[in-house]
Structure 1
Amino acid sequence: MSQDQYAPEDPTSQHVQPDAQPEQQIGHPGLESEMDLEPDYGEQTYRGSGRLEGKRALITGGDSGIGRAVALAYAREGADVVISYLPDEEEDAQVTARVVRDAGRTAVTAPGDLRDEDFCRQLVERTVSELGGIDVLVSNAAYQMSVGGIEDLSTEQLLRTYTTNVFATFWLCQAAVGHMQPGSSIVITTSIQAYQPSPSLLDYASTKGALVTFTKGLSQELAPRGIRVNTVAPGPIWTPLIPATMPAEEVGSFGAETPIGRAGQPAELAPAYVFLAAQESSYVTGERIGVTGGMPMP
């Protein structure tokens, strides 16, 4: 393992290879503690440099995976953090809160379901109330569940996927922008699935395509107000979502198809989210950063 995120290392061997990944399935939504092979979210390696000093961030899906890695990185860069998550994910959320507080920053835990429009609005209001404002919104939480094909896709799943992934992002942004000052940033997690959709994830992939378009459109609206909107598009990333939503045999080979030859780790995503929240990306809006292990996106 690297000493920190700056240490030179061969990316093909930097993290666990697919042949070491267990063919495991866990219950949805999935806890990191249930995984036979827990993800690397950067606790031992992420080194901050004050790039987000004094910022106040709301991160959805902040209990585990990419959200936890982003919360840790933001805290070590000087930000206070509110994390939202499903009530069933309390155990993981408390780990995230601990690493944020260990970095000397404020951590606010906010369990609830983003499919509830009122909860989305209350989440923003709580961030403003407890942190004194909101400078960064990371809309990261998402729902996915693999199905055999379109004929197996229930209306219930379709509505859940779209409400969690798309509607909640609209509601959060609607609630947040009125509180944001010039220099604020919105970062939305999309996916390579928006560009290379898997048939078994058709509903999920289409929501990510919608969020790419949403990012482009909202960035145009908010740019004159000094608020930037960008997206990070991950490739195959090793998180609890994988064994909780995919067949065991696919979990065992997850990420092997990438040119780098392995799944990415949440710690490898965090620097992209830091960059897009920091002042150094002041001339970047409406853009996408792909973190895909070399898988091309049009």
Structure 2
Amino acid sequence: MTLNTTPPAQQQEQRPGREEQMSPKPEYDTQDYKAASKLQGKVALITGGDSGIGRAVAVHYAREGAQVAFVYLNEDEDAQITTNALDDIGAESLAIKGDLSEPEFCQQVVQKINEKWGKIDILVNNAGEQHPQKDITSISPSQLQQTFASNVFAMFYLTQSALKYMPEGSAIINTTSVTAYKGNPILLDYSATKGAVTAFTRSLAINLAEQNIRVNAVAPGPIWTPLIPSTFDEETVAEFGGDTPMQRPGQPAELGPAYVYLACNDSSYMTGQVLHLNGGIVVNG
């Protein structure tokens, strides 16, 4: 892995962030990953698949034989890199651009995938956003509504639309966060949304158990993705991940295998649970 320590100071002005502007670039694939056709014939839908964790998941799923659709907001260059990576692996793919906080768009996404492949076996709700504020009184109603719309409502809308095309034995995987368990003093609304994602995961797992659809989550700690330099100032970025026991941020590629595990039959007796990939932070949750 490239990042053995914290990253160099850097900041991006636009949100969502752009991966091509990051130094060093996040790693989404590794040469030592050994695929075993664990998702052969499966169709996966991944949100936020243009970069970061979402791209790593898309690539790992493709290596395991899945056909991959991914949704992104407006990062066309990053999305093209994901598409190229999937093409290089030989996977069928579909990139869909739009805003998941709109219920109608979520329905359109699912319809496009159904028209192309006729089913959805794996749904990865991964897209999200964050906006640091040191004072709760600085969080405007519009920011609060936008954060919940992107991180929670979109997850509901897409899951509602996708379920009608998900056969028995399918898997839903949600990206929550270490902040849902240990909190964060400047990410109050973001942490609240991730707590909602964890509760949604547990409740939906119970709700869908009789349909044999498993629902689990991954709670990343500090991971080196475009979200970081586009969210924090240079000083904060230069210290990012340094407070973990491993004293560094994680790479997206280090999370990909966890999403494979939760999507395939290796985790057939696991539902309503959360995997914590956070550099050694103990959260007891």
- For Structure 1 versus Structure 2, the TM-score category normalised by the shorter chain is over 0.9
Structure 1 gap ranges (5+): 2-13
Q: Hey, what's the Cα distance between the residues in 1 that align with 2:232 and 2:217? A: 24
User: Who is 1:37 aligned against?
Assistant: 24
SS of the aligned residue for 2:187 comes to helix
Any idea what the Cα deviations from partners look like across 1:169-200, whole Å, max 9, x if unmatched? 01111111111111100000000000111111
Q: Hey, what's the Cα distance between the residues in 1 that align with 2:154 and 2:112? A: 16
Quote how far apart the aligned CAs of 1:149 are.
1.6
Alignment of 1:129-168 (within 5 A): 129-168=115-154
User: Who is 2:172 aligned against?
Assistant: 186
Q: Hey, what's the Cα distance between the residues in 1 that align with 2:234 and 2:92? A: 38
User: Who is 1:230 aligned against?
Assistant: 216
Q: Hey, what's the Cα distance between the residues in 2 that align with 1:40 and 1:71? A: 13
Quote how far apart the aligned CAs of 1:296 are.
1.1
User: Who is 1:5 aligned against?
Assistant: none
* Structure 2 residue 41 is matched with structure 1 residue 76: no
Alignment of 1:7-26 (within 5 A): 15-18=3-6, 21-26=7-12
Q: Hey, what's the Cα distance between the residues in 2 that align with 1:255 and 1:148? A: 19
Q: Does the Cα contact within 8 Å between 2:218 and 2:275 map onto a contact in 1? A: yes
Alignment of 1:95-134 (within 5 A): 95-134=81-120
- Give identity over the alignment, percent: 50
Quote how far apart the aligned CAs of 1:238 are.
0.4
Runs of 4+ in structure 1 over 2 Å off: 43-47
SS of the aligned residue for 2:266 comes to helix
Aligned partner of 1:31: which letter? R
Aligned partner of 2:66: which letter? A
RMSD: 1.1
Any idea what the Cα deviations from partners look like across 1:78-119, whole Å, max 9, x if unmatched? 0000110012x0100011011111111111010001111111
The normalised TM-score by structure 2 is 0.97
User: Who is 1:9 aligned against?
Assistant: none
User: Who is 1:279 aligned against?
Assistant: 265
Q: Does the Cα contact within 8 Å between 1:43 and 1:99 map onto a contact in 2? A: no
Q: Hey, what's the Cα distance between the residues in 2 that align with 1:177 and 1:59? A: 14
Structure 2 gap ranges (5+): none
Q: Hey, what's the Cα distance between the residues in 2 that align with 1:187 and 1:152? A: 32
Any idea what the Cα deviations from partners look like across 1:60-81, whole Å, max 9, x if unmatched? 0000000000000000000000
* Structure 2 residue 59 is matched with structure 1 residue 66: no
User: Who is 1:47 aligned against?
Assistant: 34
* Structure 2 residue 204 is matched with structure 1 residue 218: yes
1:85 to 72, 79, 85: 72
Distance 1:45-1:160 versus aligned 2 partners, 3 A rule: farther
User: Who is 1:252 aligned against?
Assistant: 238
Q: Hey, what's the Cα distance between the residues in 2 that align with 1:204 and 1:35? A: 23
Q: Hey, what's the Cα distance between the residues in 2 that align with 1:131 and 1:178? A: 14
